Amino acid sequence: DAGVTQSPTHLIKTRGQQVTLRCSPKSGHDTVSWYQQALGQGPQFIFQYYEEEERQRGNFPDRFSGHQFPNYSSELNVNALLLGDSALYLCASSQDRSYEQYFGPGTRLTVT
């Protein structure tokens, strides 16, 4: 079992650009959550996808959007990048309503 995988590992973008991050959940999991972890901080919940729909959302602007595909994999899109979007973006997968979420290694996004 490969566990949760994320791509790319690192990414450097310029202010104003758009970025897409990808996540493949652990086998058997149908729910994907995304978190943003700024340097020296705990992860902050962005949103969660289940059955290809956004089920819950944290306090993030509409520039952050996502998608879940029929195979349960997911994408996180961020438009009009700001310097403050520089962070480690973590994907977590779980079975529906399970308390146990498994995290991927993250994508390190740097905005210059």
Partner 1 sequence: GNSVTQMEGPVTLSEEAFLTINCTYTATGYPSLFWYVQYPGEGLQLLLKATKADDKGSNKGFEATYRKETTSFHLEKGSVQVSDSAVYFCALLYSSASKIIFGSGTRLSIRP
Can you give the length of the chain in residues? 112
| 20 burial level (CB within 10 Å; 0-12, 13-18, 19+) | middle
Is residue 44 a contact residue for partner 1 (CB under 8 A)?
yes
- 84: phi then psi, degrees, rounded to nearest 5: -70, -5
Stretch near partner 1 under the rule CB under 8 A, chosen from 20-28, 66-74, 75-83, 98-106 = 98-106
Binding pattern for the stretch 51-80 against partner 1, x by CB under 8 A and - elsewhere: ----xx-x----------------------
Is residue 25 a contact residue for partner 1 (CB under 8 A)?
no
Q: How far apart are CA 31 and CA 45, in angstroms?
A: 14
Residues engaged in binding partner 1 (CB under 8 A): 4, 31, 33, 35, 40-45, 48, 55-56, 58, 90, 92, 94, 97-106
